[in-house]
Amino acid sequence: MLQVTEAARERVRRVAPRRSQTAVIIKAKLHGSNVRLRTGREFLGLGTDLAAGSPIFIASSPGASVHQMLSHRHRSGHFGLIPGSAQENELRSRIATRLRDYLARHPSV
């Protein structure tokens, strides 16, 4: 999540957003089968490209190998996420906390 002005500026310059201007980075995937390891690696690359402190990976399907890989790299992953589940509520809480922290650091937003 970025401010509109920051997003527009980065699109024009064709560079990744500044980490300090990023509230939350989430990669969400809707899969009909297990999440592939390649998808998890792409997610790690995205986090590196954006210099993101703690991006969140969300998938509708299980992905044991991806979950294990993310765990070893201290990255957050939510697999088999079902609307209305306890896991969804945990995720909402985590995102809300990050947004509150971001707004505390950027009071002019």
For residue 80, name the pLDDT band (cuts at 50, 70, 90): confident
Entry pTM: 0.70
Average pLDDT over residues 61-90: 88
- For the domain spanning 4-105, the CATH number is 3.40.50
HSE at residue 10, side-chain half, CA atoms within 13 A, is 14
| Residue-range domain boundaries for the chain | 4-105
Residues whose CB falls within 8 Å of the CB of residue 48, separated by 6 or more in sequence, listed in order: none
